[in-house]
Amino acid sequence: MTPDDIRKAFLEELVSIAPDIDPDTLEGDEHLQDDLELDSMDILNLVTALHKRLGVSIAEEDYPRIETPDKAVAYLAQRLGG
Amino acid sequence: MTWATIRKDAATRARAVLPDPDATRAGFDWDEARAMLDGMPDGALNIAHEAVDRHVAAGHGGQVAMRWMGKSGERRDFSYADLAEATARFANVLKAQGLERGDRVYGLMGREPELYIAALGTLKAGMTFSPLFSAFGPEPIRTRMEIAEANVLVTTAGLYRRKIADWAAEIPSLKCVLVVGDEAPEGCVALGPAMAAADPRFDVVHTAPEETALIHFTSGTTGRPKGAVHVHGAVVNHAMTGRYALELVPGTKFWCTADPGWVTGTSYGIIAPLVHRCTMIVDEAEFDLDRWYTILQDEKVEVWYTAPTAIRMMMRAGKAAAEPYDFGNLRFMASVGEPLNPEAVVWGNEVFGQPFHDNWWQTETGGIMIANTLAMDIKPGSMGKPLPGISAGIVEREDGTLRELKPGEIGELALRPGWPSMMRAYLHEEARYQKAFVDGWYLSGDLAMCDEDGYFWFVGRADDLIKTSGHLIGPFEVESALIEHEAVAEAAVIGIPDETAGEVVKAYVALNPGFEPSEELEKSIRGHARKKLGPAVAPREVVFRQTLPKTRSGKIMRRLLKARELGLPEGDISTLETDEK
């Protein structure tokens, strides 16, 4: 997967969990919890959805590494060996 | 499966504040708790005086009252003297804005130092503080500000712009919005310069014990949220429970992880620890596994009061994640918000070398009522026994009176009224308040049973309220927001079991003509609800139905939807007029 594919997949899952987010105005450095107002249940659901979609299981201690879209894409790319 | 009782050894019992809880309970008088406080001349009692100023007067001004840990790693210590000064300045800011004793000050922000200063400063000034959860969407905020006629809102510029600015002018009672920082949006007052200009001295208002101190909102099954009114005299219970149920003594390093937007975060995240001259840890950030373990270790936390959802998140990460850390300073761990499952109690025992001590109380009770205290053997899954001064029973309604049930029988958990932190009213809702008291009992709305040994066990809610991540959510408030979506004709909201959150909110909706179910529409409805209500309250799942099950009088039968969802017997459906399709 290219980073663009990963970003697309991440954003789709993010917006599916939090449909109040407008992907067109979303900035890559926005913090999922502080700026986009996801709560901890949303994060758990996002992690589950990403696992299902990309086959990457994200351990609790790695949650800070997906705290913004940019960080998440970099992290997922690394995990996918891309 | 039944879980083995966790026995306490003699050494543990000996170091407990209450080595023999049953004996203390038998001989208890509330004067014992009053003796933990100073009071003020002429019988006055003020929570802020008990929590802050009296310690400074007694020579403890240099002790750290609050260690605040910011999201990005900042750390700020506030001594008791610092808190006394900052809260005095805040009280003077309120006065300078023309506010008077009895006015209502709302707090809406994350766990920033100013929230704690605002809460205590408001109480100092003899005004009423009402905390709001900062993750609420605009609608729950507005409703709550309208119900108790907010006079002041203390918030941040970001929250104000996103959630308040559009409608602030439509709240006629609102006189002033104080915004944290040095600059404020138009029409608001910047708190930074106002505090700096204010006098650092303030004579604490001599409030009467029965004077209103706090309003905490709680959800109802029908109608609007209820504002539970609590008085300064509640501090007698905060003192008793802080000492007996949480083992707080002067100097204790205490971490209550609850947000002051909810009652636990005020009663035990501000008042009780300060009353006992503890050092309280405040973490601004949300749950984060390594961060939490690091705080427990590095801050040498001694007493930790947390919630089942967080404990279950730790369990998901496994025991290995906790292994690198040293929790040697922890001497007591407690949990509240929803029943703590036995697995979590036992897990705590394995990972921390001691069990979590579950306890039970509600917004209406103002403080802990039933608890597993340190010296008690723990039956995993039980909420424990009534604390000294608290009289609890399991009752059943019978022709307008109540009958007390025998051990092992399931009924409604009830308390004998009269404890100091009992709510004094649901604001402007006398009828709803009276409904909570029947035949000399306060009815909690929780179903429970008491076993032969006097331990209480939670069974479920007697009504349709939803308990998610420890927060009580009224289905009506969620349904009302859903039907504001153009596609939604009717909505019913229930809680479905979730292994982490206890329950999560699920919505059933019937659509208006011209709309068809689709994944896109589902997202649009959920997105709408999240914008209005915030993520903590909005449904995590929306499903479509052609019709919803209703009674002849048109009331949606949430109970039936829930029974079907869980594969349980449908119970009495004689009043069912229209079934779901």
| Residue ranges covered by each domain of chain B | 10-446, 466-578
Which pLDDT band holds residue B215 (cuts at 50, 70, 90)? very high
Q: Which B positions 288-307 lie with beta carbon below 8 A of chain A?
A: 288-290
Please give the structure tokens belonging to residue A59: 């351990």
CB-based contact B535 A44, cutoff 8 Å: no
**pLDDT the model gives residue B39:** 97
Neighbours of A56 (CB within 10 A): 17
Of B304, B201, B321, the C-alpha closest to B254 is B304
B128 touches B77 (CB < 8 A): no
Mutation target to probe the A interface, by most A beta carbons within 10 A, among B288, B524, B540 is: B288
Mean pLDDT value of segment B476-483: 90
Pick from A16, A38, A41: which is nearest to B504 by CB?
Answer: A41
Cα B176 off chain centre by: 26
B495 CB-near residues (< 8 Å, 6+ apart): B466, B467, B468, B473, B503, B504, B505, B506, B562
B161 shares contact with chain A (CB less than 8 Å): no
What is the number of structural domains in chain A? Answer: 1
**pLDDT score, position B404:** 95
Can you give B29-62 as a three-state secondary structure string?
CHHHHHCCCCCCHHHCCCHHHHHHHHHHHHHHCC
Is A39 at the interface with chain B, CB within 8 A?
A: yes
Q: How much is the pLDDT for B69?
A: 98
Question: Nearest CA to CA, how far is B2 from chain A (Å)?
Answer: 29
Q: How far is CA A15 from the centre of its chain?
A: 10
Query: Concatenated DSSP letters for B542-576?
Result: EEEESS--EETT--B-HHHHHHHHHT------TTE
The predicted model gives A16-30 an average pLDDT of 93
Candidate from B289, B501, B527 with C-beta closest to A19: B527
With an 8 Å Cβ cutoff, are B527 and A18 in contact? yes
Residue B527 near residue B458, CB atoms below 8 Å: no
Residue B339 has pLDDT above 90, yes or no: no
Q: Does A29 touch chain B (CB under 8 A)?
A: no
Which of B239-243, B331-335, B526-530, B554-558 is predicted least confidently?
B554-558
**Among the partner residues B288, B527, B535, nearest to A39 by beta-carbon distance:** B535
Q: Which residues of B touch A18 (CB under 8 A)?
A: 527, 530, 535
pLDDT surpasses 90 at B573: no
Q: Touching check for B286 and chain A: CB below 8 Å?
A: yes
The whole-number average pLDDT for the span B326-337 is: 96
Residue B1 pLDDT exceeds 70: no
Beta-carbon contacts of B457 under 8 Å, excluding residues fewer than 6 positions away, are: B381, B382, B383, B448, B449, B450, B451
Strands of the B253-256 sheet, one edge to the other: B75-79, B64-69, B279-283, B253-256, B303-306, B332-335, B357-360, B370-371, B385-386
Q: Which of A15, A17, A20 to mutate to test the interface with B (most CBs of B within 10 A)?
A: A20
Q: Scanning every residue of chain B, which has its alpha carbon at the shortest distance from the alpha carbon of A46?
A: B540
Provide, as residue numbers in chain A, all residues whose Cβ is less than 8 Å from the Cβ of B504. Answer: 41
Residues of B in contact with A64 (CB under 8 A): 288
Whether B304 contacts B351, CB under 8 Å? no
Interatomic CA distance for residues B209 and B235, integer angstroms:
9
Q: Could B540 and A41 be called an inter-chain contact, meaning their C-beta atoms sit closer than 8 Å? A: yes
Question: Between A and B, how many residue pairs show a Cβ–Cβ distance under 8 A?
Answer: 56
Does residue B555 surpass a pLDDT of 80? no
* pLDDT beyond 90 at B462: no
Q: How far is B84 from chain A (nearest CA, A)?
A: 30
Report the chain A residue with the minimal C-alpha distance to residue B313.
A60
Give the pLDDT confidence of B13-63 residue by residue, as tens digits.
Answer: 999 999 999 999 999 999 999 999 999 999 999 999 999 999 999 999 999
Our CA-based measurement puts residue A80 at a distance from the nearest CA of chain B, in whole angstroms, of 21
Q: Does A45 touch chain B (CB under 8 A)?
A: yes
Inter-CA distances, B378 with B202, B243, B278, B337, Å: 46, 19, 26, 18
Summary mean pLDDT of chain B: 94
Question: Cβ of B535 and A33 within 8 Å?
Answer: no
Q: How far is A20 from chain B (nearest CA, A)?
A: 4
Q: Is the dihedral of CA B458, B464, B468, B471 positive or negative?
A: negative
- Of the listed ranges A60-64, B50-54, B114-118, B184-188, the one predicted with least confidence: A60-64
pLDDT of residue B230 exceeding 80, the answer is: yes
- Interface contact flag, A19 B523, Cβ < 8 Å: yes
Share of chain B above pLDDT 90, in %: 84
For B9-35, b/e burial (b = at least 16 CB within 10 A) is eeebbeebbbeebeebbeebeeebbbe
Q: How far is A28 from chain B (nearest CA, A)?
A: 19
Q: Does B62 touch chain A (CB under 8 A)?
A: no
**DSSP character for B354?**
S
The rounded distance, in Å, linking the Cα atoms of B565 and B541 is 13
Q: Beta strands B279-283 and B303-306: pairing type?
A: unpaired
Residue B273 pLDDT exceeds 90? yes
Q: Which residues pair with B213 in a beta bridge?
A: none
Q: Is B321 on the interface with A (CB under 8 A)?
A: yes
Between positions 6 and 25 of A, the ones with CB within 8 A of B are 15-16, 18-21
Q: Is B71 on the interface with A (CB under 8 A)?
A: yes
pLDDT score recorded for residue B464: 86
Residue B209 clears pLDDT 60, i.e. is over it: yes
Determine, for residues A37 and B316 on separate chains, whether the beta-carbon distance falls below 8 Å. Answer: no
Angle B554-B498-A50 (CA atoms, 0-180°, nearest 5)? Answer: 115
Domain that holds residue A17: 3-79
Q: Which of B523, B531, B536 sits opposite A39 (nearest CB)?
A: B536
Distance from CA of B504 to the nearest CA of A (A): 9
Domain covering B466-578 in this structure, CATH number: 3.30.300.30
Q: Distance between CA B296 and CA B289 in Å, rounded?
A: 11
Residue B471: the pLDDT is: 86
Could you tell me which residues come within 8 angstroms of residue A29 by beta carbon, excluding any fewer than 6 positions away? A68, A69, A70
pTM of the model: 0.89
Residue of B288, B289, B501 lying closest to A41 (CB–CB): B501
Phi and psi for B305 in degrees, rounded to 5?
Answer: -120, 110
CB contact under 8 A, A60 and B286: no
For the stretch B434-447, pLDDT in tens is 999 999 999 999 99
What pLDDT does A82 receive?
A: 53
Tell me the longest C-alpha to C-alpha distance in chain A: 32
Q: Which CATH number fits domain B10-446: 1.10.238.10, 3.40.50.2300, 3.30.930.10, 3.40.50.12780?
A: 3.40.50.12780
Of B150, B138, B222, the C-alpha closest to B484 is B138
B-chain residues within 8 Å CB-CB of A15?
A: 523
Q: For residue range A50-73, list pLDDT tens digits in order.
A: 999 999 999 988 999 999 999 999
User: B91, B81, B173, B161: which is closest to B124 by C-alpha?
Assistant: B91
How much of chain A, in percent, has pLDDT values that exceed 90?
80
Query: Looking at beta carbons, which residues of chain A come within 8 Å of B528?
Result: 20
Please provide residue B407's backbone torsions phi and psi, each rounded to the nearest 5 degrees: -55, 140
State how far the Cα of B179 lies from the Cα of B165, in Å rounded to an integer: 12
Cα–Cα dist B106/B177, whole Å: 9
Q: Cβ contact (<8 Å) for A45 and B288?
A: no
Phi, psi for residue B164 in degrees, rounded to 5: -120, -40
What's the half-sphere exposure (Cβ side, CA atoms, 13 Å) at A31?
Answer: 10
Residues in chain A within 8 Å Cβ distance of B526: 19-20
For residue A70, the domain's CATH number is: 1.10.1200.10
Confidence of residue B470 (pLDDT cuts 50, 70, 90): confident
For the sheet with B152-155, list strands across it: B189-190, B176-179, B152-155, B104-108, B128-132, B212-218, B226-231, B425-426
